[in-house]
Amino acid sequence: MFKGDSDSFILPLAAYAESLARQAGEVLISERNNQSFSLDYKRGVELVTTADLAADALIRAGIESVYPDHNILSEESAPDFSDPQALMGPLWVIDPIDGTVNFANQQPAVAVSIAFAVDGVTQVGVVHCPFMKETFTAIRGRGAFCNGQPIKAAHVTELRQALVATGFPYEKEGIPHLLQRLQQVMAKVQDVRRMGSAAIDICYVAAGRLGAYYETVNPWDMAAGYLIAREAGAQVGRFAKAKSLMPEELNGEHLLVASPPLFEPLQQILEPTL
């Protein structure tokens, strides 16, 4: 039986999630230092490395050994979220490498993202950045942390003062439209960043390093960061109504994470660009 609202359950689970993320991070460091990984492409366009698969296998085996009755949604080994009902109950949402292109190209913006949700409501979030030596964590209702220190979203009140992040998909067909959207945003904000890891972008909003982030992403890209940002005081939602029936906190469609005063002004800019 699941007893997720008790400290005796959730605190050890959160510590275990962080431990798994750190172990996976060590795999990534070793693979890159030794240049022992190889490259492949999913659907001919989306980069995947053997390091993704090794980190995924480590995390999955760790979860299954301790929580065998929990479900797993993983970018690499179990990516099907077409049935929202299958996401109910205890669910781990994992991305072994968020920022695979960065990883393969010696860039530091690489994250291991692990979330734990119950009935679509995220209870634990961990985003571990092994090459930047930062680990963002949150337990629902207990605040957000980076390397054990509390973090808070910035209170940016003017769009002109806001540094905003976004990203772009592997598929190139929609890029011209997304660039038009970006142009509308850039005309109103201080500047724009594109780091190549949604999980890190969201955590940077949580830590006050960015004023906002917007993009449409998959559940494993945003589930952990969603909770971390919310617990840090950011406003988390979407800039347009989602078409998917996914649970709200696992739905990356039209995602918008922002300093609260910036949320509505950015909605007003972004929604007409759909």
Q: What is the pLDDT of residues 153-166, one digit of tens each?
A: 999 999 999 999 99
Using CA atoms, how far apart are residues 196 and 5, in angstroms rounded to an integer?
A: 34
CB of 164 within 8 A of CB of 69? no
Reported as a single tens digit per residue, the pLDDT across 184-196 is 999 999 999 999 9
> Would residue 100 show up in a list of annotated catalytic residues for this protein?
yes
> Would residue 171 show up in a list of annotated catalytic residues for this protein?
no
> Would residue 119 show up in a list of annotated catalytic residues for this protein?
no
Share of the chain above pLDDT 90, in %: 86
Q: Spot the catalytic one: 31, 52, 56, 75.
A: 75
CB of 214 within 8 A of CB of 253? no
Reported as a single tens digit per residue, the pLDDT across 220-253 is 999 999 999 999 999 999 999 999 889 999 999 9
> Would residue 221 show up in a list of annotated catalytic residues for this protein?
yes
CATH number, domain 159-273:
3.40.190.80
pLDDT of residue 160: 97
Judged against a pLDDT cut of 90, whether residue 116 lies above it is answered with yes
Q: Spot the catalytic one: 49, 59, 100, 215.
A: 100
Residue ranges of the annotated binding site for Mg(2+) are: 75, 95, 97-98, 221
pLDDT of residue 4: 53
> Would residue 95 show up in a list of annotated catalytic residues for this protein?
yes
Task: Look at the domain 7-150 and name its fold.
Answer: Fructose-1,6-Bisphosphatase; Chain A, domain 1 (3.30.540)
Using CA atoms, how far apart are residues 245 and 242, in angstroms rounded to an integer?
A: 8
Q: Spot the catalytic one: 10, 94, 97, 139.
A: 97
Ordered alpha helix ranges (H), 35-98: 50-66
pLDDT of residue 1: 36
Domain locations along the chain: 7-150, 159-273
pLDDT of residue 132: 98
Phi-psi region of 152 (alpha: psi -120 to 50; beta: other; left: phi over 0): beta
Q: Spot the catalytic one: 56, 76, 221, 231.
A: 221
This prediction's pTM: 0.95
Reported as a single tens digit per residue, the pLDDT across 70-114 is 999 998 888 888 888 878 999 999 999 999 999 999 999 999 999
> Would residue 56 show up in a list of annotated catalytic residues for this protein?
no
Reported as a single tens digit per residue, the pLDDT across 169-217 is 988 889 999 999 999 999 999 999 999 999 999 999 999 999 999 999 9
pLDDT of residue 264: 97
